[in-house]
């Protein structure tokens, strides 16, 4: 038997082992465990603010840790930092490349980052001495588009790319600290764990992977989706992972049980999920879809308990404030809306 054939057999055997091990701990389903609790009552959120100013499709939005400021990225070639309480634009940052796909606010509030078809992650200092916002670093090494980026601190950022890898960068030196390779499809989205020790990535190979940031290794792989995973995030408890896919479903996986716990789907929903965010208790999952709407799901009962209708085009991004007070949706219609 050639080595290739041997390796193939070993891989298949290990996959069977994993399937069996997952089945062994499946002593119950989340559906059964939650049978005794009632579905949350209808959630009706209203648009409290509309942030107007972008001139083209909005691709990403990210809240600052202060739950007041947020940064949005649009293919009009601008990053705008908004004061969501007043709708004022705090900064309007012109980008070198207008093909932006992601943006991120550093936990400190000092930096924002963005990237896209330029294959780079550009870091901007909001608190520069002369008051002007300038490019601080251009992190270049990816050989594919930048799909997502998330700061760990002012000195480290993680990026996901169409080149199938994720990278941990040292912002100070502009170099790659760790390359996380393993996906066999474009990486579309990433989320950092509440304790900043792990991150998850969703890709066009239909899987989500959990990575240990310091070890640089992939700990677990979650399959089940039948198409590209576009959105991914941690539940606030740090153990749940939620994914949104082109297969029109969202799923919740548990890290410690190493398997899917439940799926959020409805036969009437036939379009892809573009974005998602959990509410601060984890009980609600807000998911943006290609059909211009955002559905609100009861995470434990997997029932739709609300809808955010108000955009005139695809909802491309969504985020809940760290204090849980509001949700922000961004759309291809060029507007951001704040809901609660």
Burial class of residue 29, CB neighbours in 10 A (0-12, 13-18, 19+): exposed
- Establish if 90 lies at the interface with another protein (CB under 8 A): no
Q: Binding residue for another protein (CB under 8 A) from 148, 171, 198, 235?
A: 235
Please work out the total of residues on this chain that contact another protein, with binding judged by CB under 8 A.
Answer: 63
Q: What angle do CA 55, 58, 64 make, to 5 degrees?
A: 115
Q: Between residues 66 and 266, which has the closer beta carbon with respect to another protein?
A: 66
Q: Binding residue for another protein (CB under 8 A) from 72, 178, 220, 248?
A: 220
Q: Between residues 153 and 217, which has the closer beta carbon with respect to another protein?
A: 217
Q: Between residues 86 and 155, which has the closer beta carbon with respect to another protein?
A: 86
- Establish if 240 lies at the interface with another protein (CB under 8 A): yes
Q: What is the DSSP string of 142-204?
A: -SS-EEEEEESSSSEEEEEETTS-EEEEETTTTEEEEEE---SS-EEEEEE-TTSSEEEEEET
- Establish if 85 lies at the interface with another protein (CB under 8 A): yes
| Least Cβ distance, residue 134 to another protein (angstroms) | 31
Q: Between residues 71 and 120, which has the closer beta carbon with respect to another protein?
A: 71
- Establish if 70 lies at the interface with another protein (CB under 8 A): no
**Distance set, CA 261 to CA 23, 32, 239, 272 (Å):** 12, 11, 12, 20
- Establish if 39 lies at the interface with another protein (CB under 8 A): no
Stretch that binds another protein, among 91-99, 141-149, 193-201, 214-222 (CB under 8 A): 214-222
Q: Between residues 77 and 224, which has the closer beta carbon with respect to another protein?
A: 224
- Establish if 178 lies at the interface with another protein (CB under 8 A): no
- Contacts of another protein in 250-309 (CB under 8 A): 254, 256-259, 261, 279-284, 299-300
Q: Binding residue for another protein (CB under 8 A) from 221, 227, 265, 313?
A: 221
**Distance set, CA 49 to CA 46, 52, 87, 327 (Å):** 9, 9, 7, 11
Q: Between residues 72 and 248, which has the closer beta carbon with respect to another protein?
A: 72
What b-and-e string marks burial along 194-221, b requiring 16 or more CB atoms within 10 Å of the CB? eeeebbbbbbbbbbbbbbebeeeebebe
> End-to-end CA distance of the chain, in Å?
63
- Establish if 17 lies at the interface with another protein (CB under 8 A): yes
- Residue 33 dihedral angles phi and psi, to the nearest 5°: -60, -35
């Amino acid at each position: 038997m050639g080595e290739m054939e041997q390796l193939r057999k070993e891989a298949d055997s290990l996959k069977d082992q994993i399937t069996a091990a997952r089945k062994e701990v499946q002593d119950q389903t989340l559906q059964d465990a939650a049978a005794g609790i009632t579905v949350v009552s209808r959630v009706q959120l209203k648009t409290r603010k509309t942030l107007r100013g972008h001139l083209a499709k909005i691709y990403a939005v990210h809240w600052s840790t202060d739950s007041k400021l947020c940064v949005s990225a649009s293919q009009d070639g601008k990053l705008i930092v908004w004061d969501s309480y007043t709708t004022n634009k705090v900064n309007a940052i012109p980008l070198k490349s207008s093909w932006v796909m992601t943006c991120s606010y550093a936990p400190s509030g000092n930096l924002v980052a963005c990237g896209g078809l330029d294959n780079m992650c550009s870091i901007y200092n909001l608190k520069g001495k002369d008051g002007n916002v300038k490019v601080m670093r251009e992190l270049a090494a990816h050989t594919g588009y930048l799909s997502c980026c998330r700061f760990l601190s002012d000195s480290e950022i993680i990026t996901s790319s169409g080149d199938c890898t994720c990278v941990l960068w040292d912002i100070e030196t502009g170099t790659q600290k760790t390359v996380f390779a393993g996906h066999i499809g474009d990486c579309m989205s990433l989320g950092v764990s509440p304790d900043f020790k792990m991150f998850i990535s969703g890709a066009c190979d239909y899987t989500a992977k959990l990575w240990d940031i310091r070890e640089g290794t992939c700990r677990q792989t979650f399959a089940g989706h039948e198409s590209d995973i576009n959105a991914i995030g941690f539940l606030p408890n740090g153990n749940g992972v939620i994914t949104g896919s082109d297969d029109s479903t969202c799923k919740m996986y548990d890290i410690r049980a190493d398997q899917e716990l439940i799926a959020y789907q409805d036969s009437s929903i036939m379009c892809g999920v573009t974005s998602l965010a959990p509410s601060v208790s984890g009980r609600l999952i807000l998911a943006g879809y290609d059909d211009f709407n955002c559905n609100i799901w009861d995470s434990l009962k997997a029932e739709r308990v609300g809808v955010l209708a108000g955009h005139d085009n695809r909802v491309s991004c969504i985020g809940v404030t760290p204090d849980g007070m509001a949700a922000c949706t961004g759309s291809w219609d060029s507007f951001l809306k704040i809901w609660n």
